[in-house]
Structure 1
């Protein structure tokens, strides 16, 4: 996924189906300068962390 699409998903009021390494996630914030996204697994909102945007997959 590219930074622009990740940013669109993060700001969308609709829930999109996005995964990181096969795990459904929610995108909280995108740092376009560094190509990173702040995410958490849908089933574990306390497990927040940053990952490269290009590791995210939209289904």
Structure 2
């Protein structure tokens, strides 16, 4: 996923269908300099992690 789209999704109040390694995730924050995103699986905010943007897929 490109960083502008990831930033738009993170800022939007509308939930987008995004997955990371086949798991639906919520994007909390995008680090444009490092091209990473802070995400967590839907319903599991305790499993927060930093992942590369190129691993995120919008459906």
Structure 2 portions without partners, runs of 5+: none
Q: Name the residue aligned to 1:34.
A: 34
Structure 1 portions without partners, runs of 5+: none
Runs of 4+ in 1 over 6 A off after TM superposition: none
Q: Given the two structures, how large is their TM-score scaled by the length of structure 2?
A: 0.97
How far apart in 2 are the matches of 1:33 and 1:58?
A: 21
Number of matched pairs = 59
Q: Given the two structures, how large is their TM-score scaled by the length of structure 1?
A: 0.97
Aligned-residue Cα RMSD (Å) equals 0.5
